[in-house]
Amino acid sequence: MQNDHLFLKKTFKLAAKGSGLTSPNPMVGAVIVRKGRVLSSGFHRKAGSVHAEIDALNKIKGNVRGATLYVNLEPCCIWGRTPPCVDRIISSGIKKVVISTLDPNPAVRGRSVKKMRSAGISVETGILAEEGRRLNEVFFKNMEKKLPFVAVKSAFSLDGKTVTAGGQSQWITGESARGLGRTLRDKYDAVCVGICTVLKDDPGLEASLGGKAKIIIDPHLKIPLKSRLLKNSENRVFILTSAASRAKKNKLACLEKQAKIVVVPYGRSGFSPETVLKRLYKLGICSIYLEGGAYTSGAFFDACCVDKIYFFIAPLILGGTRALPVLGGKGVKQMKDAVEVADLKVKKVGPDLLIEGYPRYKAPAAQKVDSL
Amino acid sequence: MQNDHLFLKKTFKLAAKGSGLTSPNPMVGAVIVRKGRVLSSGFHRKAGSVHAEIDALNKIKGNVRGATLYVNLEPCCIWGRTPPCVDRIISSGIKKVVISTLDPNPAVRGRSVKKMRSAGISVETGILAEEGRRLNEVFFKNMEKKLPFVAVKSAFSLDGKTVTAGGQSQWITGESARGLGRTLRDKYDAVCVGICTVLKDDPGLEASLGGKAKIIIDPHLKIPLKSRLLKNSENRVFILTSAASRAKKNKLACLEKQAKIVVVPYGRSGFSPETVLKRLYKLGICSIYLEGGAYTSGAFFDACCVDKIYFFIAPLILGGTRALPVLGGKGVKQMKDAVEVADLKVKKVGPDLLIEGYPRYKAPAAQKVDSL
C-alpha cells in the first residue's frame, strides 16, 4: 500500500509534465514496476502523441511479465488518434494494474478495468483518487459537464480593491506574483477578458506555451483594431459578441481577418456565462483562465460558472468608496447563500499572497440568474 | 549574547502577562540571573502595582550582588505611583543590566541608563529592540505621538465584502475567528464603533477583562436609548458627537446618565479622526480597537490614523456591486500612494484566515484629508 502510494505519486508527477499540452486529453503518467524496482516510466506529452502507458511499455526491451503498471487514469479502451491502450497492456504480460481514478469519459469509465480483469490482470482502482481527480480537474469537468473548466485570476489589495478611486490598476502585486499569474496561463486552453479590460489596459495576454487561445467578451464590438490582442495573428483570438450584424462593415472585415467572431445571444441582463461556455466548449476550448474585471468575473460567479480561484492579494490598502472591487455582479443576497471556497491554499509569492480554492455552489447553476 | 537573547525573550513573555492590564503603563518583565541561573523573575501586573524589576528583586531573600538584571524596557528614574526603580537597582548590588528598549518617555529616555552607569553598573541596551518595541507598540505610540494606538479589526469575504448585496453581515467568519476577535478587545483600552454599526447590529462589544471603555462615533446622536452598549453602566461609554446642543433634552439627560458625551467639532467632511484621537488620549484612552464599518474604518485610513490591522478573511465569495466593502472613504487615487502593510502575518483561525500587519503611510498625516 505504501509502495502503491509512492508509485502513484510518481505517475502524478510524470503526468504533470504534460501540463498545458495535452488538452483535450487528460494528463497521464505511468510507471512499470517489478519486485519494487522501477523498470520504466512514461507520460502523455501532448494531444495526438503516444499515451503514457505505451510510452512506458515502449521503453522496456525485455519482457514485462509479472510486472505492475501504475497509472493515474484508467487506460483507454477506444480508438482515438492512437490504438486502445488496454489491448497492449493485456498482450504485454503485465500482471497487475494500479489506477488512481477511473476515466470519467462515459465511453471508457470502468470498461477498461473490466476488460483487463477478464484477461486475468489484477486491477486496483481508487487509490489517491482525490489527488488523481484534482490533477485532471479540467478533464473531469469536461467529461462530466461538457463545459470548459473556468479558473478566475484576480489581483487586489488587502481591502479587496483592484482599481484605485483614481482609476489606476497597475501594478497592485509585485513582479513575482505577476510572473506567476502569467505562468498560470500556460495551464489553460484560453485566456479570457472582458472588453473593459481591453479598453483600459490593452493587455497582450501572452502565454509561454504556443497555441493558447485568447477570448474577448465584447458585446458591442468595441475592440479597437489596434489592440495588442489582435496583433499576433499566430494566436487564436475569439471575440464573443452580439453586435456583429450592427458593426461597420469595414471594422467587421478587418476583425474577421484577425479573429474568429462568435455571435452569442445577448439578453436584457447581458450574456449568459453558461451559454458562452457551451459555445466555447463546442469550439474546442476545454479550459479558461479568466482575467476579468469586477463585471466579467462577477457575472461568472453569479452564474456559478467558476471552478477555481487564483486570488493574488497584495499587502496594500487602497480604500475608497469609488475604488473598484474584485467582484461586481449581483452577488448573493443572504449570508446563507454565500459561496464557500473549499480546499483553500495560501502561499507567499514575493511580498504578496496567493489564495487558491474551489468555489462550492449551493444551488445548481440553472436556478441562478446568469448574466454577463 | 545567546543567553542575553534567551533571558530577554523570557522578559517579553513575562511582560505579556500584563497584556490589557497595565495601561497607561508599558508591559514589563524582569529576570535576575547569576552565573546562568535564574534567581527570580517578575512582571508589572497592572497600572499602580509594583514594577517588574522590583517584583523580581522582592522575591530574592539573600543578596543579589554580582547578578545581572534583564528587563525589556529601561527601568524608570522618576516618581510615579511607585518610587524610581533605578535607585533600588543601584542599591541592590546588581552588577549588570541588559535592556531591550530605552523608555520612549522623554522624561526617562536614556537617563536611567546614565544613572546606573554612573553608579558603576554595566548596562547594555538595544538587544532584540524590534521585538521589544513591538511588545510595547501601544506605549511607544503614546509616548512618541501623544495619541492612542489604533488597531482596526474587520471580518470579510475573500472578495473583500463585509455586508451582502442584501444587507446581511452575520456571520461572515466562523466561531473561532469571532472568538479571537473578541479576545483581542482585551488588549486595548477601548472598543470603538461608528453609529451605523450600532444601528445595524446593536453590538454589546463585551470584553473579558473589566474596565474597558466603549466608544461610539455618533455625529448626530442617533444612538437608541435601548442600545445594548448603554445597558451595562459598569463600563465606561463615550459618545463622540457634535449634536449634543441640538439633541432633545430628555434624550440627552438619559444618555448622560449612561455615557460620557464628548463634543467634537464636525466639519463639512465630518469628524477629523486625528481630532477624535487627540480628545480620546486626553480622556486617558491609550489604545483603540476599531470595529468600524466601511465608513468609519475608511476615514481612519484616509487620515493615516490606523497603526495595525486585524483582517479576518472568510473562505467565502459574496460578490455583488451593492455589497459593502471593507473600506470606504476617499481612498488613494494613485497606485504610488497605496498604503503598504508591513510585517504581514497570516494564520489560519478555524476555516478563516487572520492577516495582521502594520500600515506604513507615505505622507505625514497632516498632509492628508482626514474626514470621518
Give DSSP secondary structure letters for A38-68. Answer: EEEEEE--STTSPPHHHHHHHT--S--TT-E
pLDDT for A309-321, tens place per residue?
999 999 999 999 9
Mean pLDDT of B12-30: 97
Distance from CA of B302 to the nearest CA of A (A): 8
**pLDDT over 90 (residue B89):** yes
Mean pLDDT of B131-152: 97
Q: How many CB atoms lie within 10 A of CB B196?
A: 17
Q: Please answer yes or no on whether B171 and A335 come within 8 Å at the CB atom.
A: yes
Q: Please answer yes or no on whether B338 and A169 come within 8 Å at the CB atom.
A: no
Q: Which residues face A151 on adjacent strands?
A: A289, A308
Average per-residue pLDDT in chain B? 92
Q: Please answer yes or no on whether B160 and A165 come within 8 Å at the CB atom.
A: no
pLDDT at A372: 43
**pLDDT over 60 (residue A366):** no
Dist CA A167 CA B324 (whole Å): 19
Q: Please answer yes or no on whether A158 and B357 come within 8 Å at the CB atom.
A: yes
Q: A309: which chain B residues are within 8 Å (Cβ-Cβ)?
A: 158, 317
Nearest by Cα to A308 from A80, A160, A138, A166: A138
Nearest by Cα to A46 from A67, A68, A17, A69: A17
Q: B309: which chain A residues are within 8 Å (Cβ-Cβ)?
A: 158, 317
Q: Is A53 a catalytic residue?
A: yes
Q: B164: which chain A residues are within 8 Å (Cβ-Cβ)?
A: 331-335, 338
Do the beta carbons of residue B224 and residue B201 sit within 8 Å?
Answer: no
Which has the minimum average pLDDT: A141-155, A225-239, B146-160, B337-351?
A225-239
Q: A339: which chain B residues are within 8 Å (Cβ-Cβ)?
A: 316-319
pLDDT-based confidence at B96, cuts 50/70/90?
A: very high
Do the beta carbons of residue A289 and residue A190 sit within 8 Å?
Answer: yes
Dist CA A280 CA A304 (whole Å): 17
Q: Please answer yes or no on whether A158 and B359 come within 8 Å at the CB atom.
A: no
pLDDT at B81: 80
C-alpha cell at A139: 478533464
Tell me which chain B residue has its CA closest to the CA of residue A303. Answer: B319
pLDDT-based confidence at B350, cuts 50/70/90?
A: very high
C-alpha cell at B197: 454599526
C-alpha cell at A133: 481527480
Distance from CA of B161 to the nearest CA of A (A): 8
Dist CA A178 CA A171 (whole Å): 9
C-alpha cell at A321: 468608496
Nearest Cβ partner for A170 among B157, B318, B335: B335
Q: Please answer yes or no on whether B357 and A319 come within 8 Å at the CB atom.
A: no
Average per-residue pLDDT in chain A? 92
Do the beta carbons of residue B88 and residue B62 sit within 8 Å?
Answer: no
Q: How many CB atoms lie within 10 A of CB B342?
A: 10
pLDDT at B293: 87
Q: Please answer yes or no on whether B327 and A319 come within 8 Å at the CB atom.
A: yes
Do the beta carbons of residue B28 and residue B43 sit within 8 Å?
Answer: yes
**pLDDT over 50 (residue B372):** no
Nearest by Cα to B264 from B248, B249, B280: B280
Looking at residue B117, what DSSP letter applies?
H
Q: What percent of chain B has pLDDT over 70?
A: 96
Nearest Cβ partner for B164 among A315, A328, A335: A335
3-class DSSP state for residue B335? Answer: helix
pLDDT for A80-111, tens place per residue?
888 899 999 999 999 999 999 999 999 899 99
Beta strands (DSSP E) in A134-250 are 149-157, 161-163, 190-194, 213-217, 236-241
**pLDDT over 70 (residue A188):** yes
Q: A322: which chain B residues are within 8 Å (Cβ-Cβ)?
A: 331
3-class DSSP state for residue A241? Answer: strand
pLDDT for A163-174, tens place per residue?
999 999 989 999
Dist CA A7 CA A146 (whole Å): 31
Residue A357 sits at the vertex; the CA angle it makes with A159 and B152, to the nearest 5 degrees, is 25
Q: CB burial class (10 A; 0-12, 13-18, 19+) of residue B36?
A: exposed
pLDDT-based confidence at B211, cuts 50/70/90?
A: confident
Nearest by Cα to A194 from A211, A215, A217, A175: A217
> What is the interface pTM, i.e. ipTM, of the complex?
0.91
pLDDT-based confidence at B367, cuts 50/70/90?
A: very low
Mean pLDDT of A147-152: 98
Tell me which chain A residue has its CA closest to the CA of residue B160. Answer: A160
Question: Which residue has cell 476583425?
Answer: A255
Q: Please answer yes or no on whether B321 and A338 come within 8 Å at the CB atom.
A: no
Q: What percent of chain A has pLDDT over 90?
A: 78
Q: Longest C-alpha distance within chain B, in Å?
A: 71
pLDDT at A62: 83
User: Which alpha helices (H) appear in B213-248, and where do they start and end?
Assistant: 228-231
Nearest by Cα to B210 from B194, B189, B180, B179: B189
pLDDT at A246: 78
Dist CA A325 CA A44 (whole Å): 41
Which has the minimum average pLDDT: A182-186, B15-19, B253-257?
B253-257
Nearest by Cα to A240 from A188, A279, A190: A279
Mean pLDDT of A274-280: 95
Mean pLDDT of A53-58: 96
pLDDT at B62: 83
pLDDT at B365: 47
Dist CA B192 CA B195 (whole Å): 10
pLDDT at A371: 39
pLDDT at A233: 57
Q: B348: which chain A residues are within 8 Å (Cβ-Cβ)?
A: 346
Mean pLDDT of A121-150: 97
Q: Which residues face A41 on adjacent strands?
A: A31
Dist CA B207 CA B224 (whole Å): 22
Mean pLDDT of B349-361: 97
Tell me which chain B residue has its CA closest to the CA of residue A164. Answer: B333
Distance from CA of B355 to the nearest CA of A (A): 9
Dist CA A12 CA A16 (whole Å): 6
pLDDT at B107: 87
Residue partners of B187: CB distance under 8 A and separation at least 6: B19, B20, B151, B287, B289
**pLDDT over 80 (residue A44):** yes
Nearest by Cα to B330 from B297, B357, B356: B297
pLDDT for A282-305, tens place per residue?
999 999 999 988 989 999 999 999
- In angstroms and rounded to an integer, the radius of gyration of the C-alpha atoms of chain A is 23
- Give the side-chain half-sphere CA count within 13 A for A224: 11
